[in-house]
Amino acid sequence: MNLLSLGMVRVGVCSPELRVADVEFNTQKIIEALNQSSNDECAVMVFPELCITGYSCADLFYQPSLLQGALRSLILIAEQTRVLKCTAVVGLPIAIGGTLYNTAAFVSFGNILGIIPKTFLPNTNEFYEERWFSSAFDCTVDSIIIDRKVVPFGSNLLFQAENVPDCIIGIEICEDLWSVIPPSCNQALSGATVLINPSASDELLSKYDYRRGLVQSQSARCLAAYLYAGAGAGESTTDVVFGGHSLIAENGVILSETERFEFSTQIVYADIDILRLTNERRRNNTFTASNRTNDFRIIPFTINDSSLLKRSISQSPFVPQNSADRTQRCREIFALQSTGLAKRLRHIGCSSVVMGISGGLDSTLALLAIIKTFDKLGLDRRGIIAISMPGFGTTSRTQSNAETLAVSLGVTLRIISITDAVRQHFNDIGHDETNQNILYENAQARERTQILMDSAHQTNAIVVGTGDLSELALGWCTYNGDHISMYGINSGIPKTLVRYLVEYAADTDFNSVGTILQDILATPVSPELLPPDTNGRITQKTEETIGEYILHDFFLYYTIRLSFPPKKIYVFACKAFDGEFTPTEIKKWLRVFYQRFFSQQFKRSCLPDGVKIGSVALSPRGDWRMPSDASVALWLKEIDEL
C-alpha cells in the first residue's frame, strides 16, 4: 500500500557539501542530492538558507555576478525537478530593483511556483543580515519574472498538493523561527500541515539543544510536521562554525536528524503522517478556536508517491523504547497512581483499602501502587487488606505468589475460598457445575467482587480495583464483577505497560521481593476461572483466546489516540510485527479487536472512578464517549477488504 493512500508523505532535509560563492559547485551538489532523494522516493526535499551561494558570502552579495549565477542555478534546479518529478525548496538571494532579499524558492515538477522572502533578519552579535537584505515587511511586489515566467513572491504563500489536499506547505526562514510569533504559527492556522525552514544557524555551545527544542516545540504547538535544513560545515569559518544540523519533527517528536560537522552531503528522510496531523487538529479545540488570517495565496502543486513505508514503528507504542525514558515513565506512573488514590483517601477520611490479590500482573501492580500511596500518606500498611480468593481455576503457583507477596510487604492478608459459595449459587440457580460455560466463569468473578465489597463495609474501607486499560478496551472483565470497584487504580494503564511497571518495581523500590515479582512476570496471563490441568498448571490462557496483548495494545493506541482507520493500522502492524505475526494473523486479531471494542462499550459507559495515566483513556467522564450500540459494520468491512 503506497504512502499517499495512507495519508503519508516522504520528505527529506539535506545539508549539501558546499563552497562559499561557488555557485556551480553548490548547484551540482544540490542536483546530486535531488537525484539521490528521487531514488529514495522522497516527495519533498528541503535545502538550507542561501544554499546556492552559501550563507556566509557577506559583501559578495552585492556582486551582480553572484546574484545572476544564483538565478541561473535556480532555473537548472527547477528543470531537474521536472526530470525527477519531485519538489524542492532551495535558498538564494534575489534582487528586485534596488532591494535584495534572502529567499526560499519552491520548485516542483519543473516549475518555480513561488519565492518566499525572509521576514525577521538577525542583526546582532555575529549576524549582520540587515547590511545586505531587506525584510518581507518591506516588500512592495507580489510577483517577479524569472525565465520569462511570472512567479508569486511574498511571505503569504502556501503550497497545496492537489493529490493530497491536506498536505499544505508553509515556509519560513531561519530567524523567523526564533521570533516571538513565528510566521509558521499563522501558516499552520491557515491550513499548513508541513512547515519548512531553510536555515543557516551557526554552532555554539548548547545551541544544538536549544535549536532542537525550538523545532520540536514548534511542531507540537502547530500540530504540524517541521522540516529544518541547516547550512553545513562548508560555510566560512572566518568567525563562526556551521554544523549542518538538519532535522524533521512531527507533532513534538523528532523523527530524524543529520550528523553535524560533516563536510560531505548529509540527507535524512521521514515518512510524515498528514492524516494523523489533520486528525489531531480536528480534535484539538484550542487549535480550531485560534484566530487565523485568510490573506494567504494558495498555490497548487503535485506530490509524488512512495511505494513502501519506511517509518520506524514501535511494537509497543505505550512503552518508551529508550531505557532511561522508560524508567522515568514508570516513576511518573507510580506517582500518578499514588497521588490519585491518596487524594481519594484524604477526601473521604479513609485509612484502609480492600483489594483482591491473585498472583497475577494486574493485582500485583495495584498492590505496589497502594503501598506507595500508604507510604506517601504515612499510613500503616496493615490497613491494606489483600484478599486471596482461590476458586476452581486457582493454581498453587499463583496462590503461593499472592500470599508470599502480601506477607513480605507487610499488608494484611486474608484467604477466603469462593468454591463453596459458588457451588451453593450453582445449586440455587440450577446450574450444572460440569458445564464450564460463561456462567461458570462469571459467577466466580461476581462472588469475588461481593466478598471484596462486603469486606470493605466490614472494615470501613474502599475497594480498589485492579483491572487495566487493555481489559476495558476488550471488555475482558465480568460486568458487575471485576468490572466494578470504588476506585480503579490501574484503569489507565495498558497491559504491555503493566509488565514494565512490575519489572521496574522489582529492580528499584521493591527489590526485596524481586524474586517473587519475576515469577509473577513469568506466569501466563489468566483469569484462572477454569480448572488447571492434571499437573496443576494454568489451562485458561487469556492470550490464546483473545489474542496477544502486544497486538491489542498496538491496535488500541492507533484506534483511539490517532484515529487511524483499520487499513492503516493493519499496514503499520505488518511493518512493526514483520517476522513475528503473519499478515493473516494480524488481520484476524484486528477483526477480534474491533468486534470486542464495539460490543463491550456498555461496560466502559459505567466505569468507576480511576486515575487517567496517558493520552489514551476510556472513561466516559473524560476522553472517550461512544454509544453502547454503535455498529461495527463499517470497520469490519474495511478489514475484510484488506
CB atoms closer than 10 angstroms to residue 312: 12
Decide if 470 contacts 494 (C-beta within 8 A): yes
β-pairing verdict for 143-146 and 149-152: antiparallel
Write down the catalytic residue from 41, 49, 257, 528: 49
Amino acid at 555: F
Q: How far is CA 36 from the centre of its chain?
A: 29
Q: What are the two backbone dihedrals, phi and then psi, of residue 566, each rounded to the nearest 5 degrees? A: -55, -40
How far is it, in rounded angstroms, from Cα 260 to Cα 243? 5
Query: 29, 41, 57, 118: which is the annotated catalytic residue?
Result: 118
Cell numbers for 331: 516513576
SS3 of residue 199 by DSSP: strand
Sign of CA dihedral 436, 441, 443, 448: positive
**Residues near 502 by beta carbon (within 8 Å), at least 6 away in sequence:** 361, 364, 365, 368, 517, 520, 521
The answer to whether residue 403 is catalytic is no
Partners of 101 in the β-ladder: 94, 134
Beta-carbon contacts of 397 under 8 Å, excluding residues fewer than 6 positions away, are: 359, 519, 523, 536, 537, 538
C-alpha torsion 41→275→322→500, nearest 10: -140
For residue 535, give the 3-state DSSP assignment: coil
The CA distance from 632 to 312, in Å, is 30
Q: Do 174 and 199 touch, CB atoms closer than 8 A?
A: yes
Joined together, the cell numbers standing for residue 326 give: 522508560
Q: And the C-alpha cell for 119?
A: 521576514
Q: Is 49 a catalytic residue?
A: yes
3-state secondary structure (DSSP) of residue 407: helix
Find how far residue 34's CA is from the centre of its chain: 30
Handedness of CA 228, 233, 235, 240 (dihedral sign): positive
- Give the DSSP letter of residue 615: S
Distance (Å, whole) CA 632 – CA 634: 6
The CA-to-CA distance between both ends of the chain, in Å, stands at 10
| Per-residue cell: 636 | 469490519
Closest residue by Cα to residue 226 from 84, 13, 42, 413: 13
SS3 (DSSP) at 92: strand
Nearest CA to 105 out of 142, 72, 153, 160 is that of: 153
CA distance 133 to 122: 10
Catalytic residue from among 51, 86, 174, 330? 174
Identify whether 118 is a catalytic site residue: yes
- Cβ 191 vs Cβ 132: under 8 Å: no
The catalytic residue positions are: 49, 118, 174
